[in-house]
Chain A
């Protein structure tokens, strides 16, 4: 079972460049999430989706866009990268019930210079 798979694992961008992070899950989960993790800040929610074709803003959405064209995939885009977006990005998915835990991928480490 692959679970939640994130690509790429590492990426270095220059300020102003764009990129897309891909998340894929094979557990038929309805809900998907993008978090960022920074030292001393914990995990913060960027955007999430409660189903195919839907997206919603989380706690820190500025500078990011997302799309959920297929149930199993959730894409996170950075249109014009900034050094403040240097972070580790985690994708997660869940069944969406109140008692459903989130299942996480192993993260993408992004550095913006």
Chain B
């Protein structure tokens, strides 16, 4: 059974303090690993898709990387507006996404 586990559940950082979020997965034949951002009261917003080990994608202060067993979302010099819940998901077959439980990130000014 495909599984996605995210850690930590919650992370509190000071503004400018870089860190990483982890997403570990077990899936038969990875067809894509997706990162989303979710703000309170809103739906998840797509950030990145990664397909193969060694791949990296960047957007502003965020960089996502992928190995054969896990993905990391690196946050460099974060700002308070980066506070959100970050969700990781893997593609199951051609149609469905299986989500992790998310990491709630808080950036204090």
The yes or no verdict on A and B being binding partners is yes
Q: Mark A residues whose CB is within 8 Å of B.
A: 4, 31, 33, 35, 40-45, 48, 50, 56, 58, 90, 92, 96-99, 101-107
Query: What is the CA–CA distance of A90 and B46 in the complex, to the nearest angstrom?
Result: 14
- With known contacts A99-B32, A99-B49, A101-B49, A42–B43 Cβ distance under 8 A: no
Shortest distance in angstroms between B61's beta carbon and chain A's nearest beta carbon?
20
Contact B43 A41 (CB under 8 A): no
Kindly report which residue of chain A lies nearest to residue B43, judged by CB atoms: A104
Contacting pair B96 A90 (CB below 8 A):
no
User: Which B residues are within 8 Å of any A CB, using their own CB?
Assistant: 4, 31-32, 34, 41-46, 49, 51, 87, 89, 91, 94-102
Contact in complex: B101, A42 (CB < 8 Å):
yes
Q: Which of A40, A56, A90 contacts B43 (CB 8 A)?
A: A90
Nearest residue, chain B, Cβ from A90 = B43
**Which chain A residues lie closer than 8 Å to B44 at the CB level?**
43, 90, 102, 104
* Closest Cβ neighbor of B42 among chain A residues: A106
Report the separation of the CA atoms of residues A54 and B46 in the bound assembly, to the nearest whole angstrom: 25
A-side contacts of B102, CB under 8 Å: 42
Which of chain A's residues has its CB closest to B91's CB? Answer: A98
By a CB distance below 8 angstroms, the chain B residues around A98 are 31-32, 91, 94
How many angstroms between the C-alpha atoms of A98 and B51 in the bound complex? 10
Is B99 within 8 A of A104, CB to CB? no
Given contacts A45-B97, A98-B94, A102-B44, 14 further A-B contacts (CB under 8 A): A42-B102, A43-B97, A48-B95, A92-B43, A98-B32, A98-B91, A99-B49, A99-B51, A102-B97, A104-B44, A105-B43, A106-B42, A106-B43, A107-B42
Can you offer 14 A-B residue contacts whose CB atoms are under 8 A? A4-B43, A33-B96, A42-B100, A42-B101, A90-B44, A96-B95, A98-B31, A102-B44, A102-B46, A102-B97, A105-B43, A106-B42, A106-B43, A107-B43
Residue of B nearest to A45 (CB): B96
Rounded to whole Å, the gap between the CB of B104 and the closest CB of chain A is: 11
